[in-house]
Structures are given as structure tokens and as C-alpha cells.
Amino acid sequence: MKTLAPYLSLYRRHIWRLSLGILLAIVTLLASIGLLTLSGWFLAASSLAGVAGLYSFNYMLPAAGVRGAAIIRTAARYFERLVSHDGTFRVLQHLRVFTFSRLFPLSPAGLARYQQGDLLNRLVADVDTLDHLYLRVISPLAGALVVIISVTLGLSWLDWQLAVTLGGLMLLTLLLLPPLFYRAGRPAGEALTQLRGQYRTQLTAWLQGQAELKLYGTEARYRKALDDTEARWQRAQQQQASLTGFSQGLLMLITGFTVVLILWLSAEGLGTESSPDALIALFVFCTLAAFEALAPVGGAFQHMGQVMASARRVTQIVQQQPAVRFPVAEMKPYNTLSLSIKNLCFSYESGNPAPALDDFSLEVAAGEHVALLGRTGCGKSTLLQLITRAWDPQAGEILLNNIPLKNWDEASLRASTSVVTQRVHLFSGTLRDNLLLAAAQSSDDRLTEVLHQVGLDKLIDSQQGLNVWLGDGGRQLSGGELRRLAIARAVLHEGPLMLLDEPTEGLDAETEQHILALLRQIGRSKTMIMVTHRLQGLDHFDKICVMDGGQISEQGSHHELILKRGRYWHFHQRFTL
């Protein structure tokens, strides 16, 4: 239960709604028991009264009781479903927000070892599984316990010995079946959780890697591994279904034994009645109805193994401590920023043991434009991530306006930096929604102006305008359009420090020149660092740094580096040829 403690605490937020759901479930069970018990006694008593007792037997009161119990059961069942599911969905909503809020600060350092499909499975499927905790465990157990007490107390007015016998057998069933089926169902439940996550991860990788799998002729082998995982998942489902059937059969056996026992004991007399007559039917039908309250108990604890496994998988993420911690105190905003990097060293823990940056130093004055050039893997993108504090370096220091980066609170740092990453992330929403992520207070006129600036006129010239739906990941957009949309968000954000990672990748020469000119225009008063593999427009930058092996091999303006006839000159010669 220690594993479930953090999630049980979330139920306190909606304790009244969930308690009302349990109360309505108890009312429903008691109304069902009353309906069947009263109906059984009424039919037996009416049969014994016969025609002769037509005027002496009170038919009206029991008939009204039957109708009342039926109405109460129907209404209580409806509102119980409504309240319980509403409360459960609210708990799941808070749980999902809580999980994501703990997950977000871990990115990217704490999440690097998880695949995207696995993270999505934990955030969605594993969190959804935790709804069993209330709907299939807490509510049925509470309802069954109250029913046992109520039935025992109610029948004790007629015969306390039979009432205690029935209550004792029901209580014994309630105490024995849950742990028995929890132990029996735990292996299958844990296997279901693990195999479900494994299958979805493999399926996501298979769908995303179709081109590579076909190219290298490994599609059949990968598909076989996927089919093997699915087969094991189905076997685990079959095991749990078989166990569910066994639990229901065992409960029916216990119910039948109890009914026969009650029938046999009541035949000798009930309370002070030596000839119980219709009261026998009352006890028998009450026994049948009361055991229906125990029906979910055995099956509920079969799912506890699955719930526990899902809770452990979610806890495994949310209990991690962020690799990067920001101070709480906010800093004053700055209109301009200078950047100073001193003796920076950084290595990825799970990557290449060679350092990504090795004793790296760089000075960028406020308003200066710097281009980082070099072959893939030389540390350019890593440097931008360290400036945004995706990671902290193992050695060295980064200062913004001579203030150590570790002293910047997260809100101030994010407000001061406009970032264009290599991979553009779009949400399944409208064009307006995706632009407002950068500047939430922007007007439609401002959004339209920026889209025109980056050359995305066709997106807003349609009938839908800013309401055009971009879809999941912006599938209907080309790579160049995605890149320009990212630049539009950077323009809207208006941070004094602009970090651009391959901003013109995927653009044609004409559009590239247009975007570079736009960046020069909007970046006149901003500090800009641009990572690039292309030499177009570098003559306009104040400084060009050529990187190699995590260090700067040469730096200077375009004309200075051409005169040095070093690596940049060789790059330029190959580019111009």
C-alpha cells in the first residue's frame, strides 16, 4: 500500500464527491437486497394466504414497498454512476496534471533513457489504470462491508442466530477472497502492464521506422518480435480472464452453500416462530441478494496487481529529482543581454564518453550576432541547450549580463531567450493556438503581421485564416513551412537573446535570404547566436566561431577568417565552388 499512498492522497481533493458515490452505491445495494427479499417474502406469503386470506392479508403495503425499492434502486444506480465516474475522472485529471508537472522539469536529462512511446504509455495508460483503485476496490469493499453489517442487524430482529451465521459467512468471504485472488492475479496483472507498455513502445517504433526497416531488410524480424510481444500480452489477458471466471464460480459455490445452509437451519424455526412459513423465503432471498454485493470483490483484487504495477511505473518517473534546479526569486527583466562562457566542460552521461564541450570559452557582447559553424557532433547544439539550462555543465560557468546562469529563475530565463530548435514542435490545434504559445497576449493583427514577415502568407490567405487546423505535428506543412513557423514564434516572443539552431534548414535559397534578412532586421538590438552548416549570409555576422571537438578552433569576422585562410576559408572555398 506504500506504493499507492501518493495516489490515495489525491482522493482527498474530491472526498465529498467520492464519499457520495460510495453512499449511493450502498443505497443501491440495500435497495436491491430489499427488493428481492421483500418480493420473495411477498410472493410466498401471498401464496400461503390464498383466496381465503384475500381480506385479512395486507397486499398493499408490501406491493408499495416493492415499487419503492425498485424506484430507489434505479435512481440510486443512475446517480451513483454519475457521481462516481465524475469523481474518478476528476481524480485522474489531477493525477495526469500532477504526473506531467513532475515530468516536465525532468526534461531532457531525466527522460533521456525513456523512449517516447514508453513515456506516453505511462502518462496515459498507466494513469488510466489507477481508476480501478476507486471503482473496483475502494467502493466495492466499502459497499460490501456496510451491506454485511446492515443485513446482519436487519435479520437479527427475526432470528439473531441465523443473522450472525449469514453475516459471519459473508464476512469470512470478504476477508478471504480478496487476498487470495490478489496473490493469484498479481503475476498476470503485472505482466499485462509491462507487456502493454512494451507492445505500444515497439508498435510506435515500428510505425515510425518503416522506411529504415524496409531499407535494411529487417521489417519481417521486427514484426515477428512485435507479434511475439502481442501473443504474450494475449496469454496474460487469457490468464486474467480465466481467473475472473474462477472467482465468479467460487463465489457462486459459496453462495449456493450458504443458501442451502440457511434454508436447512431456518426450516427448524425462526426466532419464536416454530412454523416460519414465508419467513424462510425472506431469509433465502435475502441471502441470494446479499451475496451479490460480494460479486465485485474477488474480481477487484485481480486488478490490484495491474494497479500496483502501473503505480510503480508512474512513481518511477514522478519521484525522480530534476537534474536542473532553478531558484524561486524572480529577476528583473533586461532589454539587452551579454553572454560570457568560461572554461565550459560537458559530457552526456549515457552517450559518447568523449566530452561534447571541452574547456569551451566564448564572449558575446550585448547586441552582437555570432554564428557557430562546424561539422555534426562538434557541440554546437549542445552549447545552445546548456545556455537554456536543459543540462548543467560538469565544469565551467555561463553568465548572462555577468550573472551566473544558475542564479536565473526559470520564468525570467525563458522570457529572456527566444529559441528556434532543429525539431519544430506543433500541437494539434489551430494556427493561432500554436503562435500564442510564444506570446499569449498577441493580437490577431500582430500574428498576421509576423506570418507575412516570415513568408507564410498562404496559411492566412485561406478562408479559415488563423483558425486553420494544423493537425498533429503540423502534418500538412512542409519542412520549410515548419521552420518559418518556428521563426515566427521566435519573433513574437521578443526575448533579448535569440538562439537559433539551423533556422534556414530546408528552405530554398530565395526564402533563406529573406529569412536571414528578417532575422538581421528584428535582431538589431538583440544578442543572437546562430548554429548553421550553411555559409549564406555569414558575412553580416559580427563574429563567426568555427568549432571542432567541443572547442573553438578559430573565430573572427567573415573577412578576418577569409584572410587567415584557415578552416573557414576551406569551407568557403568548397561552398563557392
**pLDDT of res. 497:** 92
Q: What is the pLDDT of residue 499?
A: 92
Q: Could you give the strand order of the β-sheet that contains 551-556, starting from the edge strand earlier in sequence? A: 417-420, 497-501, 527-532, 369-374, 543-548, 551-556
Residues 75, 81, 86, 91, CA torsion sign: positive
Element spanning 535, H or E: none
Half-sphere exposure of 454 (CA within 13 A, CB side): 27
What's the confidence (pLDDT) of residue 54?
A: 56
Q: Given this model, what pLDDT does residue 209 score?
A: 82
Give the integer Cα–Cα distance in Å for 219 and 222. 5
List the pLDDT tens digit at each of the 577 positions of the chain.
566 766 677 777 778 888 888 899 889 888 888 888 888 877 777 777 665 555 566 677 778 888 888 898 899 889 988 988 888 888 888 888 888 888 777 777 767 677 766 777 777 777 777 777 777 777 888 888 888 888 888 888 888 888 888 888 888 988 888 888 878 877 887 788 888 888 888 888 888 788 888 888 888 888 888 899 999 989 988 888 888 888 888 888 988 898 888 888 877 766 665 566 777 888 888 888 888 888 887 676 767 777 777 777 887 777 777 778 888 877 888 888 899 999 988 888 655 567 888 888 999 998 899 999 888 878 888 898 899 888 888 888 999 998 999 999 888 888 889 888 888 888 888 888 888 888 888 888 888 888 888 888 777 776 777 888 877 666 677 777 788 888 888 888 888 999 998 888 777 777 788 788 888 888 888 899 999 888 888 888 889 898 888 888 888 888 888 888 888 888 777 765 4
Q: Which pLDDT value is given to residue 455?
A: 81
The pTM assigned to this predicted structure is 0.69
Cα 283 to Cα 227: distance, rounded to the nearest angstrom: 53
DSSP 505-525: TT--HHHHHHHHHHHHHHTTT
Question: In the prediction, which pLDDT does 311 show?
Answer: 78
C-alpha to C-alpha distances, 525 to 76, 104, 254, 369, 474, nearest whole angstrom? 67, 32, 82, 10, 32
pLDDT, residue 321, reads 79
- In the block, residue with C-alpha cell 416454530: 274
What per-residue confidence (pLDDT) applies to 183?
81
280 CB-contact burial (10 Å; exposed 0-12 / middle 13-18 / buried 19+): buried
Q: What are the residues facing 403 on neighbouring strands?
A: 400
Beta-bridge mates of residue 372: 531, 545
Contact indicator for 178, 301 with CB cutoff of 8 Å:
yes
Closest to 100 in 3D by CA, of 317, 273, 304, 346: 317
Q: Which pLDDT does position 79 carry in this prediction?
A: 92
